[in-house]
Amino acid sequence: MLLADKKALIMGVANKRSIAWGIAQGFRREGAELAFTYQNERLKDNLMELLREVPGGESAPTLPCDVQQDDQVAEVFRALGDRWGKLDVVVHSLAFADREDLNRAFSEISRKGYTLALDISAYSLICCARAAKPLLQASGGGSIMTMTYNAVERVVPSYNVMAVAKAALETGVRYLAAELGPANIRVNAISAGPLKTLAASAVRGISQFRDVVEEKAPLRRNITQEDVGDAAVFLASDLSRAVTGNIIFVDSGFHIMGLTP
């Protein structure tokens, strides 16, 4: 089991279709002990319903965390320190933008919406990494991973302000990897192809995007939660011990395509 004896925190499970839940299933299969955060009571209810469906799931630590509140972020890692004394993996699967700022013209994005998207989707990785560092060091190092999308390099209609946030997030991955590397802490991002998640539902045309991927990607198929979960297992495991500062594409190769026949 690739993750036996590892302690992992997963941030961002919204429902059974969440990328974070796919990662949780992969981690559990490979022997990791899991903890979760939730933003509010509605999402807590969703999370607990999922955990009740897996053996021993209800015993997993579940902690409230609004990443716009520094004290809540600090409390999550303090509580895990009291319970486990260390941490091996942090999965940051968090992003948010106002629907209006996804759907309006890019030049019409509001200042407030721009700031909100950057705060929740990009700055939160920095504050979580800062709070997690002592617990990861207590394990002799570890892995932090986050989720991005290739709208950073290619214009994707309706992705708008979230593309800017993901660009900031990817820059954060590289700078954190450089800073935390001497502590043997790896920082990477998974750039997943389009999935039908709660977050993706705010992006108009997601079904059409998936049709294009299936038709044009080198592997001629869309990805699944399991595909992302298995890539995350690799990044969490000692198999990726020399991998940091990278954007790992899990998109059936679609990102390499330019003009398609």
- Per-residue confidence band for 199, with pLDDT thresholds at 50, 70 and 90: low
Residues with active-site annotation: 149, 159
Longest CA–CA separation in the chain, Å:
57
Task: Provide the domain count of the chain.
Answer: 1
- The answer to whether 36 touches 28, Cβ cutoff 8 Å, is no
Q: Which residues contact 169 (CB under 8 A, 6 or more apart)?
A: 121, 122, 125, 146, 148, 189
Burial per residue of 71-97, b for 16 or more beta-carbon CB atoms within 10 angstroms, e otherwise: eebeebbeebbeebebbbbbbbbbbbb
Distance CA 11, CA 19 (A): 10
- pLDDT tens string 114-131: 999 999 999 999 999 999
User: Does residue 258 belong to any structural domain of this protein?
Assistant: no
- pLDDT tens string 54-85: 888 889 999 999 999 999 999 999 999 999 99
In this prediction the pTM is 0.93
Give the domain range for residue 220.
7-252
User: Does residue 260 belong to any structural domain of this protein?
Assistant: no
- Per-residue confidence band for 202, with pLDDT thresholds at 50, 70 and 90: low
Q: Which residues pair with 7 in a beta bridge?
A: 33
- Per-residue confidence band for 132, with pLDDT thresholds at 50, 70 and 90: very high
- pLDDT tens string 236-245: 999 999 999 9
User: Does residue 90 belong to any structural domain of this protein?
Assistant: yes
Distance CA 84, CA 63 (A): 14
Interaxial angle between packed helices 160-180 and 124-138, expressed in degrees from 0 to 180 and rounded to the nearest 10? 30
- With a pLDDT cut of 90, the percent of the chain lying above it is 77
If you average pLDDT over residues 156-185, what whole number do you get? 95
Q: Which residues pair with 187 in a beta bridge?
A: 144
CA distances from 222 to 141, 207, 256 (A): 34, 11, 15
Interaxial angle between packed helices 19-29 and 225-236, expressed in degrees from 0 to 180 and rounded to the nearest 10? 60
Distance CA 121, CA 168 (A): 9
Beta strand pairing call for 89-92 and 142-148: parallel
User: Does residue 159 belong to any structural domain of this protein?
Assistant: yes
Token digits for 39?
């933003």
- CATH number of domain containing 131: 3.40.50.720
Distance CA 100, CA 240 (A): 39
Interaxial angle between packed helices 70-84 and 124-138, expressed in degrees from 0 to 180 and rounded to the nearest 10? 20
- pLDDT tens string 14-25: 999 899 999 999
Backbone angles phi, psi at 130, to 5 degrees: -60, -45
Distance CA 31, CA 178 (A): 29
User: Does residue 1 belong to any structural domain of this protein?
Assistant: no
User: Does residue 257 belong to any structural domain of this protein?
Assistant: no
Q: Given strand 247-250, what is the order of strands in its sheet? A: 62-64, 33-38, 7-11, 89-92, 142-148, 185-192, 247-250
User: Does residue 174 belong to any structural domain of this protein?
Assistant: yes
Q: Is the pLDDT of residue 261 over 60?
A: no
User: Does residue 261 belong to any structural domain of this protein?
Assistant: no
Q: Which residues contact 105 (CB under 8 A, 6 or more apart)?
A: none
Q: Is the pLDDT of residue 200 over 70?
A: no
